[in-house]
Each structure stands twice: as C-alpha cells, then as structure tokens.
Amino acid sequence: MKLTIIAALAAFSVSCAHAQSTGPAATAPAQTPPPPPCTDPVFSQFDFWVGEWDVYGPQGKLAGTNSIRKEEYGCLLTEHWVNTGGITGQSYNFVDLETGKWRQVWVSAGATIDYVGGLN
C-alpha cells in the first residue's frame, strides 16, 4: 500500500511538471510602469534648501543647524532644526494637491504653526 501511494505521488508530480512545461507560454502583456510621483517642476521649487546647514544670526554668531531632506519620492521636504541651546523643531513641507500651494507644518515643543504660500 505504501509503495502504491509513493508511485501515485511520483506519477502525479511528473504529470504536473509535464503540464507546466508543455503548451504555449502564457505571457503577460507588457505594462508601462506608472511615472514616479511628484515629478512636476513645482515639487522642485525648494530643492535649493535641501542639505545640511549651519545657520548664523545677524551678528555672525552660530544660531543652530538645520537638516533638510527630500523624502517620499520627492513629494516631501523634512526639516530638522537644532539651535545652539539644544532646542529642536521639525517641519513637513509639501505641495497641497487641492490648492497647488506649498504648506509648511512646523512643530516644536509648545508650538505648531501651519504656513501656506510659495516662492511668489
């Protein structure tokens, strides 16, 4: 009985392999991948800001550091601020798709500010 089951499984495996290897190959139609998000030039308006910055006050004294990164496939700029006293803040900067305007949502301990506008 055990030998019969093994023989039946072997025959089934061979027939499955044969069924998979014969007949016309099914090919999926070639699909064009979707374009990367946020490639419109409006999403690059603040690219000059991207980088690591030492920020100085009017008298030339170091006020803090700012790290600006482009994230989410170019749809978002993140800002990480640290002043010389260790106080921090962060912002998300993005194009509001409903209005077409840039928004900056700034958050730090005790403060939240929502700016709307652009370079113009």
Calpha distance 62→34 (Å, rounded): 45
Q: pLDDT per residue over 38-56, tens digit each?
A: 999 999 999 999 999 999 9
- Residue extents of the structural domains in the chain: 41-117
Give 97 or 8, the one with higher predicted confidence. Answer: 97
Average pLDDT over residues 2-6: 41
State how far the Cα of 15 lies from the Cα of 114, in Å rounded to an integer: 66
Residue 23: CB partners within 8 Å, gap ≥ 6?
A: none
Tokens of 100: 């077409």
Q: Return the residue matching tokens 């978002």.
A: 76
**CA atoms of 52 and 44, how far apart (whole Å):** 17
Tokens for 104, please give them.
């900056």
Residue 47 pLDDT = 97
Tell me: the pLDDT tens digits for 56-86? 999 999 999 999 999 999 999 999 999 999 9
State whether the Cα torsion 106-108-111-112 is positive or negative: positive
pTM of the model: 0.69
Average pLDDT, the chain: 84
Residue range 25-42: average pLDDT? 81
Mean pLDDT, residues 22-46 taken together: 80
The amino acid occupying position 10 is: A
